[in-house]
A and B are shown apart, each in its own frame.
Chain A
Amino acid sequence: MKRQRTLGPTVATHGALVIAALVVLIPFVWIAAAAFKTQIALLTGAFLFEPTLANFNEVLFTKTSEYLHNFANSLIVGTVSTAIVLAVATLSAHALVRRRAPSWLIHGLLGWSIAFHMIPPITMVGPWFVMFRTVGLDNTMTGLVLAHITLNLPLALWLMCVFVREIPIELEEAAWIDGATAPQLFVRVILPLVMPGLAAAGILTFIFSWNEFAVALNLSQKATATVPVAIAKYAQEFEIKYTEMAAGALLSAIPAVVLLLLGQRHIVKGLTAGAVK
């Protein structure tokens, strides 16, 4: 593939890819520019404008603004649910991959996990709402965390199964012969080896929890609202405040961009693991 390449096709290929990259990037650039514009500059469609921080100030620091609070809610829900999902998924993945349970249970669990992943979350929100309301968990962070754990468990379980399968069984056998107990084997052999997998699954789980909207919309109230819910409410209530909406949207994408720059490799691995052998 490397030899006998002529210049023409290479230039054409890069040209097509650069155009595609621009199509992806221009909306982000445009929205970022809108966030630094005044309403008038946006409405007149000015290409050159004097940047202002007023929109960010309005979104973040005015008395009526809840944005920082929403940001904290999203961080808490994302971090707590991700930590629990990773723990539960890794424990189960090891037992499933090494077939430490009856076959019907292994197949039942994995099969149901995949089937549940296909269900539109909105069909689950109704019964969750009724259930949480009955036990007093409605409009609490606990309820939202539980819902996000459930939504993300199938993906994490699937990914951790892929990564645990890559661990050579000989290592476990060696530890076993040396007298390690099952918990020791898990903590001292499996966990260290599965760390890169945990990073991939963890970053993705966190991002999916951060982005999740349909469930958070219906299981939260003003005090427990996450960032996506806040943005939706804001867009509906103040449909005219375009530039502030742009600022809020821009701020909400920060975690994803930071995680992408820090862990591009892990994200790509997590998204493609299992789909490609």
Chain B
Amino acid sequence: MTVLGSNELSAAALPATPAIRGGLLDRFWPGVSLAPSILLFLILTLLPIANLVVMSFHDITWQQGRATWTPVGLRHYAALANDPLFKAGIGNTAVFATVAVAVQMLLGFFLAVLTSRVFHGRVIYRTIFVLPILVPGIVIGAMWKLMYNFDFGIINQAIGLVGMMPRDFLGDRSLALASVIVVDIWHWTPFCFLLLLAGLESLPQDVFEAARIDGAGFWQELRHIILPLMLPTIAVTLLFRLIVAFKVFDEVFLLTGGGPGTSTEVVSFSIYRRFFTEDRMGYGSAMSVVTLFGLALLIIVAQGVARQMRRT
């Protein structure tokens, strides 16, 4: 920092000339400005992931803050293949992500198209729709747990008004996952809406005018203009949403805790349970490693598909 100070002083005292350049900080500036990111990523992401892999081949026990590592070879990975919790987690996460994100994209797109067609109140609509994204996931879980309550929840009150019997939305095996998906749709549709609306607003207006002069109706406009032009934005939104959907943890934690049975068990929750609740760090690490591999595979496949689509 002293170098910066002296440079500033001399720059102020003399009319600046290139000759005053060349202090240490100046010369190594690119390195200095990149070093914090590189160090953070090395120490807090790459090193822990390497550690995770090593841990997955060990049993780890703690005594007075010191860990004892016992090598177990591939035993954790072998056990993983027969873990019903993990299998249920993968299945539920896949269903959850697919259904929730599909509905969110459709609803979000519908709302974005509607909003792009109004001229009054667009800012108000947008402000309201952004709200759920900004509230802590755990709070959304708490809110909906109360709303789903069997005795006094607003949802059971509402379906009571139309003459239906109250249901135990979170405690019923056949309803629990669907109920969690509904919460996620409420939570994240606004995100799809926001990105898609921004995409719509950035479309060139003259194309629409030309189409209208040619007498195109709304559906023709949607099919032949909006959808093709919006494809990149739609793809990016879909990708962002899928990534976050696969991480789901907060809402499930309070709403159902993975239950009843394994009906809402998701991968993140299984890892948490094995690693922290059951204190089986080696096994939890193996689970994490397999999850990371699966995710990497998915992303590589998705990229391949995207490249193929762009070519055709």
Task: Across the A-B interface, give the 8 residue pairs with the lowest CB-CB distance, nearest first.
Answer: A179-B16, A127-B48, A182-B29, A100-B30, A256-B134, A123-B288, A272-B198, A91-B33
How many Å from the CB of B89 to the closest CB on chain A? 11
Some 6 contacts from A to B, beta carbons below 8 A apart, are A112-B45, A130-B51, A146-B44, A153-B37, A211-B138, A242-B152
Let me know if A77 is at the binding interface, CB within 8 A: no
14 A-B pairs besides A181-B26, A228-B138 with CB distance below 8 A are A17-B114, A118-B243, A124-B49, A127-B49, A153-B40, A180-B11, A182-B26, A213-B138, A213-B253, A228-B250, A231-B138, A232-B138, A236-B254, A253-B139
Q: Which residues of A contact B18 (CB under 8 A)?
A: 179
| Set of chain B residues within 8 Å of A183, measured between Cβ atoms | 4, 7, 25-26, 29
Stretch from B76-84, B98-106, B124-132, B167-175 at the A interface: B124-132
- Within 8 Å by CB of A130, from B31, B55, B117, lies B55
Residues in B with CB closer than 8 Å to A169 are none
Contact A207:B134 (CB < 8 A) given known A89-B37, A95-B34, A249-B143: yes
The majority secondary structure among interface residues of chain A is helix
* Stretch from A21-29, A51-59, A192-200 forming part of the interface with B: A21-29
- At the interface, yes or no: B133 with Cβ under 8 Å from chain A? yes
Asked if B115 and A123 make an inter-chain contact with CB atoms under 8 angstroms apart, the answer reads no
Q: Are A228 and B136 within 8 A (Cβ)?
A: yes
Contact (Cβ within 8 A) B134 A122: no
> Is A92 in contact with chain B by the CB < 8 A criterion?
yes
Q: Which residues of A in the span 186-208 have a Cβ within 8 Å of any Cβ on B?
A: 186, 207
Contact of A264 among B26, B115, B126, B199 (CB under 8 A): B126
B130 x A268 contact (CB < 8 A): yes
CA distance A9 to B218 in the complex (A): 11
Task: Name the interface size band of chain B.
Answer: 35 or more
Residues in B neighbouring A115, C-beta threshold 8 A = 296, 299
A128 and B199 contacting across the interface, CB-CB below 8 Å: no
Q: Is B142 an interface residue (CB 8 A)?
A: yes
CA distance A129 to B60 in the complex (A): 13
**In the assembled complex, A103 has its CB within 8 A of some CB on chain B:** no
**Contact across chains for B240 and A179 when beta carbons are under 8 A apart:** no
B123 within 8 A of A: yes
Separation of A213 and B127 alpha carbons in the complex (Å): 24
Q: How far is the CB of A147 from chain B (nearest CB, A)?
A: 8
The CA-CA distance from A10 to B60 in the complex, in Å, is 64
List residues of chain A with CB within 8 A of the CB of B199: 275-276
- B226-282: which residues lie under 8 A (CB-CB) from chain A? 232-233, 236-237, 240, 243, 246-247, 249-250, 253-254, 267-268, 271-272, 275-276, 281
| CB pair A88 B114 closer than 8 Å | no
Q: Which of A45, A149, A264 contacts B127 (CB 8 A)?
A: A264
Q: Which residues of A contact B60 (CB under 8 A)?
A: 130
Contact status A42-B152, CB under 8 Å:
yes
**A95 with B33: in contact, given A123-B291, A214-B249 (CB under 8 Å)?**
yes
Residue in A25, A30, A88, A131 whose beta carbon sits within 8 Å of that of B37 in the complex: A88
State how many residues of chain A have any CB contact under 8 Å with chain B: 102
> Are A276 and B138 in touch, CB under 8 angstroms?
no
Most chain A Cβ neighbours within 10 Å, of B23, B44, B186: B44
A25-B26 contact in complex given A17-B115, A126-B281, C-beta closer than 8 Å: no
Min CB distance A139 to B, Å, is 11
The residue of chain A having its C-beta at the shortest distance from the C-beta of B60 within the complex is A130
In the complex formed, the residue of A with least CB distance to B276 is A218
Interface residues of A in 141-169 (CB under 8 A from B): 146-147, 149-150, 153, 157
- The minimal Cβ–Cβ distance linking A152 to chain B, given in whole angstroms, is 11
A1 at the interface (CB under 8 A from B): yes
Among B36, B126, B232, residue most surrounded by chain A Cβ atoms (within 10 Å)? B36
Q: CB distance A276 to B198 under 8 Å? A: yes
Q: A268: which B residues are within 8 A, CB to CB? A: 126, 130, 194, 198
Contact B144 A27 (CB under 8 A): yes
Q: Please encode chain A, from 9 to 46, with 1 for each CB lying within 8 Å of some chain B CB and 0 for all others.
A: 11001101100110111111011001000000011110
Interface contact B118-A14, CB-CB below 8 Å:
yes
Chain A residues near B296 (CB-CB < 8 A): 115
- Among residues of B, the one whose C-beta sits closest to the C-beta of A22 is B128
As a 0/1 sequence over residues 1 to 44 of chain B, the CB contacts with chain A under 8 angstroms (1 = contact) are: 00010011001000011101101011001111110111011001
